[in-house]
Amino acid sequence: MRPILLQGHTRSLTQIKYNREGDLLFSVSKDQIVNAWYSHNGERLGTYNGHVGAIWSVDVNSMSTLLITGSADNSAKLWNIQTGKCLHTWEFKTAVKRVAFSEDDTMALAVTEQRMGYPGTIVILSINSDIEAQQSDEPITIIRPEGPKAMVADWGNINKYIITGHEDGSIALYNWKDGEKLNSIHPHTGEITDLQVSEDRTYFITASKDKSAQIFESNTLMPLKKYVTDAPLNSASITPIQEFVILGGGQDAMQVTTTTMRQGKFECRFWHRILEEEVGRVKGHFGPINTIAVHPDGKSFSSGGEDGYVRVHHFDNDYFKFKYPELS
Q: Which residues bind another protein (CB under 8 A)?
A: 1-8, 21-24, 33, 38, 41-49, 63-64, 82-84, 230-231, 255, 258-260, 262-263, 265, 270-271, 277-284, 311, 313, 315-316, 318-319, 322, 324-326
In the bound state with another protein, the residue whose beta carbon lies nearer, of 95 and 246, is 246
Among 112, 101, 73, CA closest to 89: 73
In the bound state with another protein, the residue whose beta carbon lies nearer, of 118 and 324, is 324
In the bound state with another protein, the residue whose beta carbon lies nearer, of 165 and 250, is 250
| Closest CB 36 distance from another protein, rounded Å | 8
Distance of alpha carbon 80 from alpha carbon 95, whole angstroms: 22
Distance of alpha carbon 61 from alpha carbon 41, whole angstroms: 22
Q: 245 pairs with which residues across the strands?
A: 238, 271
Q: Write the CA distances from 156 to 5, 173, 176, integer angstroms.
A: 33, 9, 11
| Closest CB 305 distance from another protein, rounded Å | 13
| Closest CB 263 distance from another protein, rounded Å | 4
In the bound state with another protein, the residue whose beta carbon lies nearer, of 64 and 141, is 64
Amino acid at 299: K
In the bound state with another protein, the residue whose beta carbon lies nearer, of 156 and 248, is 248
Among 250, 236, 228, 233, CA closest to 154: 236
Distance of alpha carbon 244 from alpha carbon 20, whole angstroms: 20
| Closest CB 258 distance from another protein, rounded Å | 4
Residue 320's CB is within 10 A of a number of other CB atoms, namely 11
| Closest CB 249 distance from another protein, rounded Å | 13
